[in-house]
């Protein structure tokens, strides 16, 4: 008898749990937010939130149009609640794709509190992308038009997620990555940077990825070009694609273009006479794509191409390292985190004065590019 009762209760529980959702809400009473932009008005001191909302009711089968809601408040939570003064439906944040922060706000106040506040809410995904606006406001980027989709937030997410396989010009940083960088040890906070460019007809503005924004703790410190970002990704083993242009003949600028296929960098440390030496060994596999001079790629020619390409890569990496040490004075490469993981004893010795240690470190670069494929024309 006890077995029958237990089986009956189990059956009832399964039927109830599979027949409905405990927190089900009809889509007709929800405004689905795909992305938000956060600004702060200098005069009023109020936070301004711009939300991109998927207008499901008026969309066709293959597209979803966007509408925008702007709200203000003394805090982000206050601004979010004030949105109810304009719209009747409740906002649904569980499908947010991107968080856009204005560069002014990131520079003056930092982004730690913003990220912490969003992560405290149980609706937004911790895997949403976070980017920095290079325009005057974050709203301008969110309201710009994408070329591939009608929804700007999805356009930004797709661009960032696929970048390291195609151009290697930015870093795909999600919300939890940014949180870990701010609260972790020696992890550089680097976020994708977006700007607006005029469309071909000049009637509207389109989105464009433009490198990265780098931070000192949680405050914006500056921007890096897409080209400089490529070498940071190569040093951190994140570059899986993109073009590498270099000279094969001195009288022609960038007469050879190759495609990055693989890149692996080994980092080693040596501390002697109160000075840290960092040795970088960069090994990259590339495919030859384009040559302005028509040549039969013999083994001898291929060796010369590899030599020139390797020397160029070494020079460019050394240049961005010197810029980070002398101008930015920030470890944007994450050397401290590598030392923390690989030689924790030495890291404990240097951690309190890491900024000065990094600025005065001797960093040597050894680069080798291997041309593993010369295309359809072979010898």
Rounded to whole angstroms, the Cα distance separating 7 from 212 reads 59
Indicate the pTM of the whole model: 0.86
Q: How many residues does the chain have?
A: 379
Give the pLDDT score at 296: 74
Give the pLDDT score at 16: 45
Give the pLDDT score at 370: 96
Buried b (16+ CB within 10 A) or exposed e, 296-326: ebeeebeeebbebbbebbbebbbebbeebbe
Give the pLDDT score at 90: 75
Would you give the distance in Å from CA 112 to the centre of its chain? Answer: 17
Give the pLDDT score at 241: 94
First to last CA, the chain: 84
| Beta strands across the sheet bearing 275-291 | 243-246, 256-272, 275-291, 362-373
CA-based nearest residue to 267, from 235, 238, 240, 239: 235
Which CA distances in Å does 42 have to 39, 45, 104, 271?
Answer: 9, 5, 10, 47
- The answer to whether 173 and 232 have CB atoms below 8 angstroms apart is no
Residue with tokens 């006890």: 2
Q: Side-chain half-sphere of 230: how many Cα atoms within 13 Å?
A: 20
Give the pLDDT score at 203: 73
**β-pair partners for 205:** 198
CA-based nearest residue to 189, from 181, 197, 200: 181
**Cα 50–178–234 angle (5° rounding)?**
115
Rounded to whole angstroms, the Cα distance separating 281 from 271 reads 18
225-229: which pairs have CB atoms within 8 A and are 24 or more residues apart? Answer: 226/167, 226/169, 226/170, 227/169, 228/320, 228/323, 229/168, 229/169, 229/170, 229/171
CA-based nearest residue to 45, from 113, 107, 109: 109
Question: For the chain, which domains are there?
Answer: 24-224 (no CATH), 230-379 (3.30.300.210)
CA-based nearest residue to 196, from 150, 137, 154: 137
**pLDDT averaged over consecutive 10-residue blocks of the chain (379 residues)?**
52 50 51 92 91 70 74 84 69 89 96 92 91 97 81 93 93 96 95 92 85 97 96 96 88 79 96 95 95 79 91 97 96 97 96 96 97 71
Give the pLDDT score at 69: 87
């Amino acid at each position: 008898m006890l077995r029958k009762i237990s089986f009956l209760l189990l059956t009832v529980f399964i039927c109830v749990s599979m027949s409905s959702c405990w927190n089900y809400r009809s889509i007709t009473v929800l405004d689905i937010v795909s992305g938000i932009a956060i600004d702060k008005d200098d005069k009023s001191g109020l936070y301004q939130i711009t939300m991109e909302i998927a207008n499901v009711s008026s969309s066709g089968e293959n597209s979803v149009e966007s509408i925008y809601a702007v709200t203000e408040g003394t805090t982000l939570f206050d601004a979010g609640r004030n949105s109810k003064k304009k719209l009747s439906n409740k906002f649904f944040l569980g499908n947010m794709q991107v968080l856009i922060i204005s560069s002014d706000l990131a520079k003056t106040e930092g982004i730690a509190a913003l990220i912490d506040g969003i992560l405290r809410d149980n609706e937004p995904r911790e895997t949403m992308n976070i980017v920095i606006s290079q325009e005057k406001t974050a709203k301008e980027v969110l309201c710009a038009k994408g070329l591939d989709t009608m929804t700007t937030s999805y356009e930004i997410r797709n661009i960032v997620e696929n970048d390291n396989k195609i151009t290697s010009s930015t870093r795909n940083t999600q919300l939890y990555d940014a949180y870990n960088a701010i609260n972790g040890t020696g992890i550089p906070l680097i976020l994708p940077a977006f700007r607006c460019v005029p469309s071909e007809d000049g009637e509207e503005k389109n989105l464009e990825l433009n490198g990265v924004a780098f931070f000192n703790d949680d405050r914006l410190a500056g921007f890096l070009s897409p080209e400089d970002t490529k070498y940071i990704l190569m040093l951190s083993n994140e570059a899986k694609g993109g073009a590498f242009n270099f000279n094969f003949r001195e009288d022609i600028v960038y007469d050879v273009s190759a495609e990055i296929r693989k890149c692996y960098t080994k980092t080693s440390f040596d501390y002697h006479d109160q000075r840290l030496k960092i040795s970088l060994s960069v090994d990259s596999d590339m495919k030859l794509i384009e040559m302005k001079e028509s040549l039969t790629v013999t083994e001898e020619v291929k060796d010369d191409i590899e030599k020139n390409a390797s020397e160029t890569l070494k020079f460019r990496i050394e240049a961005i390292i010197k810029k980070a040490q002398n101008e930015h004075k920030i470890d944007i490469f994450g050397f401290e985190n590598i030392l923390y993981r690989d030689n924790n004893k030495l890291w404990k010795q240097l951690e309190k004065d890491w900024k000065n240690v990094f600025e005065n470190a001797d960093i040597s670069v050894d680069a080798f590019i291997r041309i593993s494929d010369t295309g359809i024309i072979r010898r």
